Amino acid sequence: MPDIYTFDSLGLHPRLLTALKRLNFTTPTPIQHQAIPLAITGSDMIGIAQTGTGKTLAFGLPMLQRLAGSNHQGLILVPTRELAMQVEEGLLKVAGPLGLRTALLIGGASMWEQKRKLRTKLNIIVATPGRLIDHLKQKTLQLGHVKILVLDEADRMLDMGFEPQIREILKGVPTERQTMMFSATMPHELVSIAHSYMKMPLRIEVAPAGTPTELVEQAFVVMEKDAKMKELRELLTTFKETVLVFTRTKHGAGKVTRALRDNGFTAAEIHSDRSLGQRKAALEGFKKGTYRILVATDIAARGIDVKEIGMVLNYDLPDNPDDYVHRIGRTGRAGHEGLAVSFATPDQKRDLELIERIVRKPLTVHHRVPFEHRSARPQRAGSHRRGSPRAAHSHRRPYRRG
């Protein structure tokens, strides 16, 4: 394999390369391959890549390398607690050999413990905007030593109403800094922030903004609302792998979870009404296999990093069609195949049209989950085994307006 396809060719410090090899990371993803050499130089950057393509290491490795041996700090802003924990966990795996220390500032966790941590020498702070603002107001944190700023899943932060907090934080960070934004989509508001607070940022786009990976097989099923639970039970009975179920509301997540448990399935729920401890327990149980099914609202769409989730099931279509890409990006990660099934009601024709526009290809709508999707994982994109959903056209019709 050519050197260009290995981490060794990206200009990383030998200690980082050793840590990567210990973790069996040998081949960079496209966003990592393009972003790391440029980020090491200190350039401002906008990185656009599909969810689940390794953006954390794309900005994390250059940050670790540039901060090693300095008195500067790195600040990583993320939209949700789950994503913040995931990012810090990913950094800690490779930060050890460099002796760098991190702090996690998120809501729902002990403020006292965070204040204690902030009194020590820190190299990297991973935070949600709201909790970071709390510390700034209480003067338990100063941003004067921040040399590298990262906005991870920046579009999601805007969706969640964090734009005022982001602008307030950006004003408090030294102007002489490196700023990197990483996201799956690039809304106009984000472009405005980039122009205001970045210096001639390089734009790296390894896939059209908002497009899902080709390793995810997608199926859309139209049914009446009261038929969803019956269809879900049947699908889960035949599909034996792990499943992430998305609902539109917190109430809906609880209702679906209870119904699944009543039918003998191991399921947990994760949404904003759950405490941090409950959310961590649900996520850890899902990772370890205690729960085969995790039911979530969109708060978890960007914060779940579980290897080889077999299927993402959209029990409800998202309110924001952009969130469809982020939801289904929880499966088909790191080169693995995935499956995404979405339930829609007959009156959601417009929602399907918007999703079709975002994924940039015609949708195929069924009136029942295809049998192949019930019983087996899909093959890689482009495969046409006999009887596969791609080959069996008799029960499918492309979704078209009108």
Write down the domain spans for the chain. Answer: 3-205, 216-398
- Cα distance between residue 366 and residue 208, in whole Å: 27
| 3-class SS of residue 41 | coil
Question: Which amino acid does the sequence have at 51?
Answer: T
- Return phi, psi of residue 77, to 5°: -100, 130
Instruction: For CA atoms 108, 111, 112, 114, give the dihedral sign.
Output: positive
pLDDT for the residue 260: 96
pLDDT for the residue 393: 31
pLDDT for the residue 384: 34
User: Thinking of the domain 216-398, which architecture would CATH place it in?
Assistant: 3-Layer(aba) Sandwich (3.40)
Residues 6+ apart with CB under 8 A from 147: 66, 67, 70, 72, 73, 74, 174, 176, 177, 178
- Cα distance between residue 206 and residue 185, in whole Å: 12
pLDDT for the residue 63: 96
pLDDT for the residue 274: 82
pLDDT for the residue 16: 92
Q: Do 3-205 and 216-398 fold alike per CATH?
A: yes
User: pLDDT tens string for the chain (402 positions)?
Assistant: 344 578 998 999 898 999 999 888 888 988 999 999 999 999 999 998 876 678 899 999 999 999 988 899 999 999 988 889 889 988 988 887 778 899 999 998 899 999 999 999 999 999 999 999 999 999 999 999 999 999 998 888 887 788 899 989 998 999 999 999 988 777 778 888 888 888 888 888 876 555 666 778 888 999 999 999 999 999 999 888 999 999 999 899 999 999 999 999 999 998 878 887 888 888 889 988 899 999 998 865 555 667 778 899 999 999 888 788 778 877 776 566 788 899 999 999 999 998 888 887 788 788 777 656 555 444 433 333 333 333 333 333 333 333
pLDDT for the residue 388: 34
- Cα distance between residue 113 and residue 109, in whole Å: 8
Class (C level, CATH) for 3-205: alpha beta
Encode 114-128: b = buried (16+ Cβ within 10 Å), e = exposed.
Answer: beebeeeebbbbbbb
Pairing of the two strands 364-366 and 397-398 = antiparallel
pLDDT for the residue 335: 61
- Distance between first and last Cα of the chain: 49
